[in-house]
Amino acid sequence: MENKTITMAASKRIALIAHDNMKSELMAWCTIHRTRLVEHSLYATGTTGHMLEKHLQHPVEKMISGPLGGDQQIGAMLAQQQLDMVIFFWDPFEPMPHDPDVKALLRVAAAWNTPVACNRTSADFMISSPLFNSEVKYDIPDYDKYIESRFADGSANN
């Protein structure tokens, strides 16, 4: 598939997600970085979003709970370029009943070239980057061109 270059705005749309065992770590990380985070639009899956909103005293757009489809909602927003980055503190030692949803979310993020931090150290690198508060040009799949080429002769080629 061909790519196209788009521009990520200086004001980011950030998804914040944490598994149950990692929620306290995400809250602590967000407290440290509150000043930088509240300059951007924040999104989160259900319980995490409610905790963050109360903890940060700042609005958070909340999806439904991850196991009920919130991870998939975030993935859909990534595919539609409605989010710019994901900070997802997941627990690598605890099997989750919705592991396929988590894997799908990470796959969509990779497919759409979305920055993802899966732990505190990578989140620190992301938020301390000079790109965090800057416009950034980056490549994403050119889906329109892909569809156009598949149906150029009136039929799809498998």
Residues designated catalytic: 71
CA gap 93, 62 in Å, rounded: 26
State the chain's maximal CA–CA distance in angstroms: 55
3-state DSSP of 33-98: CHHHHCCCEEEECHHHHHHHHHHHCCCCEECCCHHHCHHHHHHHHHHCCCCCEEEEECCCCCCCCC
Count Cβ atoms within 10 A of the Cβ of residue 67 and give its class: 0-12 exposed, 13-18 middle, 19 or more buried: middle
Report the DSSP beta bridge partners of residue 42. Answer: 14
**112 contacts 142 by C-beta, under 8 angstroms:** no
Burial of residue 122 (number of CB atoms within 10 Å: 0-12, 13-18, 19+):
middle
